[in-house]
Amino acid sequence: MSSAINIAIDGPSGVGKSTIADRVAESLHMVHLDTGAMYRCVAYYLVSHQIDLSDSQALDQALDSIHISFQGKQVFLNDVDVSKEIRTNEISMLTSKVATNPSVRKKMVTLQQEVAKDKGYILDGRDICTVVLPDAEVKIYMDASAKARAERRYKEYISQGIQADYETIYQDIVARDYQDSHREISPLVQAKDAIRIDTSNLTIDEVVKEVLELVRKA
């Protein structure tokens, strides 16, 4: 059953989309395509090579030079493991700007749709339900308060040995929410036919259980 469907998950930054998608994919023997990580890779590449997002020629050349692959939970950019590097606060903020660029979006969306056409995939991001996979068999909008998301991200950073400040993370999440919901291209909105799950007071196991139940009913 699950191999013949696609699952689309949208939601704001830090809500736990990737974590839930990983767990659900494992339970259903599906493949999780982390679209957020793909945009983060582009942002990291631009920063690393000092490429200005407004330089269209340099950007196009960069997009042609970028190869993104996944091995389990590891993310590789041109065969280099950047799993940790792309999760910093700096990259999170830049990713929101990168994701609004028409050239970047065109390349990423086309790639995501091409991969998912064979079914059996879970994609999470900002516009999966509305733009990338509007015909997905299961569509979910995950949400949580900015405070809850900031606390989770702070604990995640600390557990990974990344230096972090809670207040900075909280303010960045509030700013990211505004950017994502007010951008001209594919703003973050809940698709009309997506099921909303508020994860503010739920454990990971509880959210996974809800998602699996939705898949079972699909």
Residue 185 inside a domain? The answer is: yes
Q: Is residue 39 a contact partner of residue 108, using CB atoms and an 8 Å limit?
A: yes
Sign (positive or negative) of CA dihedral 195, 196, 201, 204:
positive
Alpha-carbon separation of residue 194 from 110, 128, 142, 148 (angstroms): 22, 11, 9, 22
Sign (positive or negative) of CA dihedral 185, 147, 215, 7:
positive
- Quick one: pLDDT at residue 2? 66
The total domain count for the chain is 1
Residue 217 inside a domain? The answer is: no
Q: Is residue 175 a contact partner of residue 90, using CB atoms and an 8 Å limit?
A: no
Residue 71 inside a domain? The answer is: yes
Residue 216 inside a domain? The answer is: no
Q: Is residue 194 a contact partner of residue 139, using CB atoms and an 8 Å limit?
A: yes
What are the pLDDT tens digits along the chain (218 aa)?
466 899 999 999 889 998 999 999 999 999 898 888 999 999 999 999 999 999 999 999 999 999 998 887 789 999 999 999 999 888 988 998 898 899 999 999 998 998 899 899 999 998 999 999 999 999 999 999 999 999 999 998 899 898 899 999 999 999 999 988 988 888 899 999 999 999 999 999 999 999 999 999 98
The CATH number that applies at residue 131 is 3.40.50.300
Domain that holds residue 144: 2-211
Residue 88 inside a domain? The answer is: yes
Residue 218 inside a domain? The answer is: no
Q: What are the tokens at 152?
A: 């989770």
Token pair 């957020």 is found at: 36
